[in-house]
A and B are shown apart, each in its own frame.
Chain A
Amino acid sequence: MSARKAVRLEAGLQELNGQLDTKVRERTAELALANDSLTAQYEEITAMNEELTAQNEEISSLNAELEHRVNERTADLTAANQELTAQFEELSHTQKALLASEENFRTFFDSVSEGVALHEVVYGEGEASDYRVTRTNPAYEVHTGLSPEKVQGRLATEIYGVADPPYLKEFADVAQTGEPYVFETYFPPMAKHFRISVVSPMKGNFATIFEDISERIQRESELRQKNEEMSRFVYTVSHDLRSPLVTIKAFLGYLEQDLKDKDAEASSKDMDYIRNAADKMATLLDEMLNLSRIGSRVNPPEEVSLKDLSREVLELVAGRITGRCVQVKLTEEPVVLFGDVARLKELYQNLIDNAVKFMGKQAAPLIEIGVRHDPAGITLFVRDNGSGIDPRHQKKLFGLFEQLDKTADGAGMGLAIAKRIVELHGGTIWVESVGEGTGTTFCFTLDQTRIGTKEGGMSK
C-alpha cells in the first residue's frame, strides 16, 4: 500500500465522513422536525379523540333519554289509542242506538194516529207574526186533507188562507216559554173540532199534536140533547102520569061517598071522571112507548118518492079525511126523500092528523102536501087552511104532552114525535102561521132530499 494511496483513502474517508455527518445532521434535524409535527398531530388527534369521546358520551346519553321518552310516548299513545278505541266503540254503539231511536221516532211520527206538525215561529218587528210549517206526518194529511207538499215550508196564513194565523198567540207563547199547552177548539177553516197539544222542542219552534174530535163533540152534543130530552121526559111523565092518578084516587073517594049516600047520578058522573083519567093514562103510556121506539129502532135508510109515501099515508088516514070532507092536494114536483121510510110515514101521518084535527070551522078544508125551494135548500111542508095557531103559543107546540087545546083528543105527543123524526133525519121543523083562523103550515127539512125520480123507477 502506498502512502499516497492511504492518504487519499483517508481523505476520501474523511470527506465521506463529513458528508455522512452532514447528512446525519440534516436527517436528524429533519426527523426532529417530523417528530415535532407528529407530536403535534398526535396531540391534536388525542384532543380530537377526547372531544369525540365526550361527544359520543353525550350522544349516547341523549340517545338513552330519547329512547326513554319514545318509550314513554309510545305507552301514552297506546293508552290513548286504547281509550280512543273504547270511545269509538262506545260512539258506534251510541250511534247505533241513536239510529234505532231515530228509526223508532220516525215510525212513531209516521204511524201515530194524531196529526203532528212541526213549526217555527216567524217574527216581524220583534213580535210573532206568523208561523211556518217545517214538517208534518201522514196523519196530518189525513186529518187536514193537506199534503206535505202543500204545507211544508209555507206560512200558516198561506196554508189556511186567513189574515190572522190561527192560535198564533198560544203557539208563540209555547215556543217562547217551553210550557206545554193543551186545548180543544173549533177550527173554522176546516169546520172541525180539534184537541191540540202544543209543545216546544226548542226555542222559537213548536210542535202541534192534534186529533180530530168532531165526532166526539157531536156525540157529546147529541148526548146532552138526549139528556135534556130525557129530563124533560121524566119531568112531564112525573107530572102528566100523576095527574090522572090524582083524579082517579080523588073520584074513587067521592064515589065511596056517593055509594054511602046512594046517589046514583053522582056515582055515574064520578065514574066518568075515573074512566077518562084511566083512558088518558093508557094513551100516555102508549105514546110514551111509541116515542121510545123512535129513539131506539131505526130501519136502514132508503129512498122513497114523496108521491108514493104520501099515498100510503093518505090511505092510513083516509077515514078521518073523508069524515071531515078534507081535500088533499099533492105537489106535482118529483121529490125523493131519503130515510127510515116507516118513520117518514109516521111523520106525515102525524102532520096530516094534526091538520085534520085542527081544521076548525073551515067549510072547505084543504091540506096541501108540498115542497118549496128556500135559499137554505128544499123545504117540505104540510099546509092546512084550518084554525091556525097564535104566534105567541107556537114555541110550546113541539114539546112533549103539550096541547094547546086540552079538549082535543090524543096525549099531545104527535108533534113531539114529528120533531123527533125530523131531527133523526138531520133536519129541523117549524111552524108558519099568522094567527088563529089563518091556517097552519108545518115546514121541515130532511137530509138528502132531492128533486128527481127514485132510481129503479116506481116514480108513478
Chain B
Amino acid sequence: MKGEPVVILLVEDDPAHAEIAKRNLRKSGLANDIKHVSDGQEALDYLFRQGGYESPEISPRPHIVLLDLRLPKVDGLEVLAKIKETLELRDIPVVILTTSSAESDLTGAYAQHVNSYLVKPVDFDKFSELMKHFGYYWLAWNQYPK
C-alpha cells in the first residue's frame, strides 16, 4: 500500500455528512482518494461502471466502500446486497456508516455480509475520534487483496 492511495467510495446523500467524513479523513494525514457518490443508484453505477461511470479512469476500483443506509433511489442495504452477490465485487470491504442503530438495519447488514457497522455519534468529539480510528484501521493497518 506504500505510496499508493487507498481509494474510498463514500456513498452519502447528506452533503454535510460527506463533508464531515472527507475532512476527518483528510485530517488523518493518510494517503487516500475519496470518491463521493450521493445515492444508491450512483453507487451501483460507479461499481458496475455504467451510467456515466464507464471509464475506469473515473471509477477506479475502491479498496473500501463507506456506505450510508438510508439513501435515495436505492437503499444502502440493497447496494450492499448487490456488492456481496457479485463475484468481482464481494471482496471489497464494505463499512456501514449511518445514524441508524435500528436492530433491523444491524441484522440486515450482517445478513448481507457487511464487514463493519459504524453508527455516527451525535457528539462531535466522538465522531472525530471514530473517524480517526477508522482511518488508522482501514487506511494504515488493514491489508487489502492485491
A residues in contact (CB < 8 Å) with B: 235-236, 238-240, 242-247, 249-254, 273, 276-277, 390, 392-393, 396, 401-406
Which of B1-9, B84-92, B98-106, B136-144 lies on the face that meets chain A?
A: B98-106
Q: From known contacts A242-B99, A247-B16, A276-B16, infer whether A396 and B73 are also in contact, taking CB-CB under 8 Å.
A: yes
The 10 closest A-B pairs by CB, nearest first: A253-B124, A247-B16, A242-B99, A249-B124, A393-B73, A239-B100, A250-B20, A273-B16, A406-B13, A250-B124
Q: Do A243 and B99 touch across chains, with their CB atoms under 8 A apart?
A: yes
Q: In the assembly, what is the distance between CA of A199 and CA of B17, in Å?
A: 66
A250-B72 CB under 8 A given contacts A235-B100, A239-B98: no
Residues of B within 8 A of A273 (CB): 16, 19
| A251 to B17 Cα, complex, angstroms | 10
B1-38 with Cβ < 8 A to chain A: 13-17, 19-20, 23, 38
B30 → A minimal CB distance (Å) = 20
Contact of A246 among B99, B104, B125 (CB under 8 A): B99
A277 to B98, CA, bound (A): 16
Q: Which one of B74, B102, B104, B124 lies within 8 Å of A252 (CB-CB)?
A: B124
Shortest CB distance A256–B (Å) = 9
The residues of B with any CB-CB pair to A shorter than 8 Å are: 13-17, 19-20, 23, 38-39, 41, 69-70, 72-75, 98-102, 104, 120-125, 127-128
Task: List, sorted by A's number, 29 A–B pairs whose CB atoms are closer than 8 Å.
Answer: A236-B70, A238-B100, A239-B98, A239-B99, A242-B120, A242-B122, A243-B99, A246-B122, A246-B127, A247-B17, A247-B20, A249-B124, A250-B16, A250-B20, A250-B124, A251-B16, A251-B20, A277-B16, A392-B74, A393-B41, A396-B72, A396-B73, A396-B75, A404-B72, A406-B13, A406-B14, A406-B15, A406-B38, A406-B39
Verify A246–B17 contact, CB threshold 8 A: yes
Report the Cα distance A406→B37, complex, angstroms.
Answer: 12
Q: Chain B's nearest CB lies how many Å from the CB of A283? A: 14
The answer to whether A235 touches B102 (Cβ under 8 A) is: yes
A243–B101 alpha-carbon span in the complex (Å): 12
How far is B72's CA from A235's CA once the two chains are assembled, in angstroms? 16
Q: Which residues does chain A contribute within 8 Å of B16, judged by CB atoms?
A: 244, 247, 250-251, 273, 276-277
A244 to B20, CA, bound (A): 12
Interface SS, A side: helix
- Which secondary structure characterizes the binding site on chain B? loop
In angstroms, Cα B20 to Cα A252, docked, is: 11
**Of all chain A residues, which has the CB nearest B21?**
A250
Residues of A within 8 A of B38 (CB): 406
Contacts of A396 in B (CB 8 A): 72-73, 75
Q: Which of B16, B69, B101, B127 has the most CB of A within 10 A?
A: B16
Name the one of A236, A242, A253, A392 contacting B41, with C-beta atoms under 8 angstroms. Answer: A392
Nearest B residue (CB) for A236:
B70
Residues of the A chain whose Cβ atoms lie less than 8 Å from the Cβ of B17: 243, 246-247
Docked pose: A406 CA to B38 CA in angstroms: 8
Give the residues in chain A near B41, CB-CB below 8 Å: 390, 392-393
A276 to B19, CA, bound (A): 13
Q: Closest Cβ of chain B: how far from A362's Cβ, in Å?
A: 21
Do B98 and A402 touch across chains, with their CB atoms under 8 A apart? no
CA distance A252 to B122 in the complex (A): 12
Whether A250 contacts B74 by the Cβ 8 Å rule is no
Q: Which residues of B contact A246 (CB under 8 A)?
A: 17, 20, 99, 120-122, 127
Given contacts A246-B120, A250-B127, 4 further A-B contacts (CB under 8 A): A238-B100, A243-B14, A249-B124, A403-B72
Contacts of A238 in B (CB 8 A): 99-102
Asked if B72 and A406 sit within 8 Å, CB to CB, the answer is: yes
A244 to B99: give the CA distance in the assembly, Å.
Answer: 10
